[in-house]
Chains A and B, each alone.
Chain A
Amino acid sequence: MSGKFVVGYDGSNASHRALKFAVAKAAAQGGSVMIAHVLEWSPYSFLTPNELEERHKRRNEELTRAKEVVMDPIVKEMSGKGADIESTIKYGKVVDVLCDIAKESGADQMVIGRDGDSGIASRVFGSVAGALAQCAPVPCTIVP
């Protein structure tokens, strides 16, 4: 049995645990893992004229940095563990983008970490894991 896992990864410990979990599962069933890193972005934010001018340049810098600092090391670390590894870096709202990636890549499962934070902030604003549990298009595993 094969299957595709989409894992949200932001470099945190929680997302690292989730990824390890997904890779182990995928390896066991001969499946693959898509590591997704989302850069938070809203097309409705306000920028100064200067920021507008430099946006394209900054975006390229941000993408390069995300690839070099976050994605490349983790892809290297997770390769050779028995599961095929793919990666993607996108801009947008984390939850929406993860759901879109899952839909577009035909994933069978999503895996997301949680930091176990039950503080006031996550109660008010919600957390990525909580929101994904609500709106994931495929079964979603939350790794503690």
Chain B
Amino acid sequence: MKRHFTYATAAGAALSLLSSPAMAQSLDEKVNAIFASSTGWFVNLIFSPFPGTSFPWIVAWLVVAATVFTLYFAFIQFRAFPHSISLVKGDYSDPNDAGEVSHFQALATALSGTVGLGNIAGVAVAVGIGGPGATFWMILAGLMGMASKFTECTLGVKYRNEYEDGTVSGGPMYYLTKGFAERGKPGGKFLAVLFSVFCILGALGGGNMFQANQAHAQITNVVGDYPGWITGVIFAGVVFAVIVGGLKSIAKVTEKVVPIMGVLYVLTALIILLINFDKIGWAFGQIFEGAFTGLGVAGGMVGALIQGFKRAAFSNEAGVGSAAIAHSAVRTKEPITEGFVSLLEPFIDTVVICTMTALVIIITGQLIVDDSTGLYMLNEAGTAIATVDGNSGVALTSAAFSSSIGGFKYILAIAVILFAFSTMISWSYYGLKAWTFLFGEGKTTELVFKIIFCIFVIIGAAASLGPVIDFSDAAIFAMAVVNIIGLYFLMPVVKAELDSYMSRLKSGEIKKFH
């Protein structure tokens, strides 16, 4: 709580010092102060540390879950990796099902919801606070998270609702209710409702405000500073046009451009790594050393670990349950196949793309090292590592890329805006599914949610990074609390599916079509 008041007071003090007459700026600050003080309790609840330590219980919760699933399914993320690739390629797709949602499409759509600012801005936050060592924990969390994703997406398909008109609805709220009922366990409905509430908050937080916030930061980085609510209103207008007005063309363009941007981003990162190939060994040295010593970052090794795990979970959403909503539309006779496909998601998102960002930031020397000790220097507040231009978040990534390839900040600005937009569209859908689960389907109830969603775009763009990122994390992790409880109860279902599928695959009953 203290931290948030600090933000607000600091902002207020800065404002009175400048005695800025600009109404707009004060509107931003007002939004910020109200937002920080009204969400602080929730953030504190989710991120409260174990008594006597600085280790948040929620991080342990996610790590333990990922470890349990990894062991329970005997390292499925490595065993099934090649099979996952051939499923995505369509090797096992029945040609008679052409025209239905393919594995590739379900994966691509889920990815465009997760690949985004978490990979660009989130990683910068992790490395900026936790140092290079955070990268190690991030990769580890990504690899483990593959097993969580596998579990939830299999259940998402298995317990989805298929309606008479051919549309489907799936996700944790459905497997929590139907799966628990099937196994004769009580409390499924309660968990489903709880999940839906958190999913709506997560959609408004990480899936919306954080995106709007960082998109604004990126735009000001290019065109100069101006009030955040202006970006907010414009973004809200476009989002409104798409989700309320049904303007499909914008969504279609974004869905097509986003994957291209993703590939372009990774290629650019690779080029920068190639230019600095002599430093790659050093960078990995920093990552390993930092992972276990912290190299002087706030909180030391634990600080690096917490940042790494937090940002990985925020980026790939493994265990959160959101992907189970996106993946449940695939056309397959075997729910487990979607589990296999979905385990590629944390791999692509975290192990590949996030690591690229982290390496570029480290290699381009954005983080200031004290030459005499070899440790990283902290900023004045002592909360994060001092950076060359005092950047944090997406601005840090932008500075890192631009230092090697001049003008990249313009490309990154476009990429960030598109990523932010596609993530918002995906999350507006996840949020809507949770909303209709709670309040029933219907044009009016849907419209209410969509309008609330648009309002939060403006709030997100106007508030400052600290409170927004805290609230976003808290809401998304709250989803994971409920979802993972459900996964523990339902993982024997997945195990049965897995054993049955594997034996039929071995016997040749399930065969390739291509």
Per-residue interface assignment for chain B, residues 243 to 258, with 1 indicating a CB less than 8 Å from any chain A CB and 0 otherwise = 0000010011001101
Contact B329–A53 (Cβ < 8 Å): yes
Contact B105–A41 (Cβ < 8 Å): no
Interface residues of B in 429-463 (CB under 8 A from A): 429-430
Contact B108–A46 (Cβ < 8 Å): yes
Binds B, one of A57-65, A106-114, A126-134: A57-65
Contact A52–B95 (Cβ < 8 Å): no
Contact B106–A52 (Cβ < 8 Å): yes
Contact B93–A43 (Cβ < 8 Å): yes
Instruction: Give the distance in Å from the alpha carbon of A111 to the alpha carbon of B106 in the complex.
Output: 36
Q: Which residues of A have CB within 8 Å of B34?
A: none
Contact A49–B166 (Cβ < 8 Å): no
Of A47, A53, A59, A62, which one neighbours B255 at CB under 8 angstroms?
A47
Tell me if A139 counts as interface (CB < 8 A to partner B). no
Q: Which residues of B have CB within 8 Å of A50?
A: 251, 429
Contact B98–A91 (Cβ < 8 Å): yes
Tell me if A115 counts as interface (CB < 8 A to partner B). no
Tell me if A117 counts as interface (CB < 8 A to partner B). no
Q: Please judge, given known A-B contacts A53-B167, A53-B168, whether A46 and B95 are in contact too, CB under 8 Å.
A: no
Closest Cβ of chain A to B310, distance in Å, is 25
Q: Which residues of A have CB within 8 Å of B108?
A: 46-47
* Chain A residue at minimal CB-CB distance from B97: A91
Q: Which residues of B have CB within 8 Å of A55?
A: 100-101, 329, 331
Closest Cβ of chain A to B256, distance in Å, is 6
Of A47, A63, A91, which one neighbours B105 at CB under 8 angstroms?
A47
Q: Which residues of A have CB within 8 Å of B105?
A: 43-47, 52
Q: What total count of A-B pairs have CB within 8 Å?
A: 83
Q: Which residues of B have CB within 8 Å of A76?
A: none
Of B98, B325, B329, which one neighbours A43 at CB under 8 angstroms?
B98
Instruction: Give the distance in Å from the alpha carbon of A49 to the alpha carbon of B254 in the complex.
Output: 12
Q: Please judge, given known A-B contacts A41-B98, A55-B329, whether A47 and B109 are in contact too, CB under 8 Å.
A: yes
Q: Please judge, given known A-B contacts A48-B109, A49-B109, A53-B169, whether A43 and B104 are in contact too, CB under 8 Å.
A: yes
Contact B101–A47 (Cβ < 8 Å): yes
Tell me if B184 counts as interface (CB < 8 A to partner A). no
Contact A57–B167 (Cβ < 8 Å): yes
Q: Which residues of B have CB within 8 Å of A62?
A: 99
Given contacts A41-B98, A56-B100, 11 further A-B contacts (CB under 8 A): A41-B99, A43-B105, A45-B105, A46-B108, A46-B259, A47-B108, A49-B109, A52-B330, A56-B101, A56-B331, A63-B99
Q: Could you write out 23 A-B pairs with CB less than 8 Å apart?
A: A41-B99, A44-B104, A46-B108, A46-B255, A46-B256, A47-B101, A47-B255, A48-B252, A49-B109, A49-B113, A49-B325, A49-B326, A52-B109, A52-B326, A52-B330, A53-B167, A53-B329, A54-B166, A55-B101, A56-B100, A56-B166, A59-B99, A92-B99
